[in-house]
Amino acid sequence: MLSAEAITKSFRAATGRLVAIDRVSLELECGARLGLVGPSGSGKSTLAQIMAMLLAPDGGAVRIDGDRVDVWGVRCRRELRHRVQLVFQAPRVAVDPRLRLGEAILEPLAASAIMPAGAEERAELLQTWAARVGLTGDLLERFPHEVSEGQLQRACLARALVVRPRYLICDELSSMLDVSTQAALLETVAAIQAERELGVLLITHDRVLADAWCGAVADIRELSTRDEAEAVAVAAQSRAGALNVLLRGGLRRATRP
């Protein structure tokens, strides 16, 4: 089980601190399909990054199969990192623009020194994963800017699956994609989830999609343990803060010579 316990995270902002999530708890079982919904700005992506060990929370705990995560990011143990994989919401910025799709898919193996040594084996592995996510032809040899957003997201999914994770977090996997690509990606995820008892957390702002695809759906606004009045106050404060930051950013850009 992958669990987040009373996670709190805030970011520094020009007007103090912006609370992204406040004491949010969530549990993802192996083999389950859990949906997480909420409006934009409700902290879904922040929670995803914390649960994938990419972002350290201010408070609370993350446990993976009982192991408590205490270091985040590049210092975190590789074996632990590979157990949870995150598919980012915007594939255009989630792939190094200087890597060909094929290289990008195998990059986690190369980075972790678990890349098969033989060229034949490597090619076979790449072909297997490319076929599973529906990438064909010379697409693997192209650079990210030479393929469509949907094709790029397929590569991102392959890159996440190639390290054989036990939990997969899909952050708006398909919010920018066409319905048929969305369906294809979700079919791939569903097939692998069934094969390997993969736990899938599907983060989306599309309630209809979450209801249709997931076994259970949670709304991030209802996962916080704080009480309602407090939540409203914090939300109002955060919104004001965010707007101020936006305005200041705009002013700064506008006044720069």
Partner 1 sequence: MSASSGALRSSLNIGARRSQRLAQAMQRWPVSVRVAAGVLGVLVVVALLANVIVPLDDTAVDLDRVLDGPSAAHLMGTDEVGRDLFARVLHGFRISLTIAVLAALAAVTVGTLVGVLAGTMGGKVDALVMRVTDVFASQNHFLFGILLLVLFRPALGGAGAVMLAVGLTHWPSLARIVRGELMSLRERPFVSAAIGGGASRWRLARRHYLPHLMPAVGLAFVLTVPHAVFHESAYSFLGLGLPAHEASLGNILADGQRSLLAGGWWIALFPGLAILTAAMTIGTLAEYWREHLHPRWRSELEL
Partner 2 sequence: MTSLLEVEDLSVGFRTRRGVVHALSHASVTIRPGELLLVVGESGSGKTVLAHTLLALLPRNVDVSGSVRLGGQELLDLPPAELRRVRGRRMALIPQSPASSLNPVRKLGGQLLEAARARGLREKQARTRLRELLAELGLDLEFIGGRYVHQLSGGMQQRVVNAMALVGEPDIVIADEPTSGLDADLVDATAAQLREISARGASLLVITHDLRLAERLAGRLALLYASRIVEVGPTMSFFAGPAHPYGRELLRALPEREGKSIPGLAPELTALPGHCAFADRCPDRFDRCGESIPDLYPAPDGVLARCFVHAER
Q: How far is the CB of 244 from partner 2 (least distance, A)?
A: 8
**Cα 68 versus chain centre, distance:** 20
Closest to partner 2 by CB, 64 or 209: 209
47 binds partner 1 (CB under 8 A): no
- Residue 85's nearest CA partner among 186, 5, 171, 152 is 171
248 binds partner 1 (CB under 8 A): no
Q: Kindly determine how many residues on this chain lie close enough to bind partner 1 according to the rule CB under 8 A.
A: 41
- Residue 95's nearest CA partner among 159, 49, 47, 141 is 159
Which residues, including other chains, have CB under 8 Å from residue 73's CB and lie 6 or more apart?
53, 54, 55, 56
Are the beta carbons of 165 and 85 closer than 8 angstroms? Answer: yes
Q: How far is the CB of 232 from partner 1 (least distance, A)?
A: 31
249 binds partner 1 (CB under 8 A): no
Using the 8-state DSSP alphabet, how is residue 123 labeled? H
Spatial distance between the Cα atoms of 60 and 31, rounded to a whole number of angstroms: 25
Q: How far is the CB of 148 from partner 2 (least distance, A)?
A: 6
127 binds partner 1 (CB under 8 A): yes
- Please identify which residue in the block is written with the tokens 């997480």: 36
Cα angle 168-50-152, degrees, rounded to a multiple of 5? 45
Spatial distance between the Cα atoms of 46 and 31, rounded to a whole number of angstroms: 23
Q: By CB under 8 A, what part of segment 60-119 binds partner 1?
A: 73-74, 78, 81-82, 85-86, 88, 90, 93-98, 100-103, 107-108, 111-112, 119
40 binds partner 2 (CB under 8 A): yes
Say which entry of partner 1, partner 2, none residue 3 contacts (CB below 5 to 8 A, set by partner kind): none
Q: How far is the CB of 146 from partner 1 (least distance, A)?
A: 12
Q: By CB under 8 A, what part of segment 6-45 binds partner 1?
A: none
Are the beta carbons of 211 and 36 closer than 8 angstroms? Answer: no
- Residue 190's nearest CA partner among 152, 227, 161 is 161
Q: By CB under 8 A, what part of segment 54-113 binds partner 2?
A: none
Say which entry of partner 2, partner 1, none residue 176 contacts (CB below 5 to 8 A, set by partner kind): partner 2
Spatial distance between the Cα atoms of 106 and 122, rounded to a whole number of angstroms: 8
Closest to partner 1 by CB, 95 or 185: 95
Q: By CB under 8 A, what part of segment 149-168 binds partner 2?
A: 149-151
List residues binding partner 1 (CB under 8 A): 49, 52-54, 73-74, 78, 81-82, 85-86, 88, 90, 93-98, 100-103, 107-108, 111-112, 119-120, 122-124, 126-127, 138, 140-141, 156, 159-160, 163
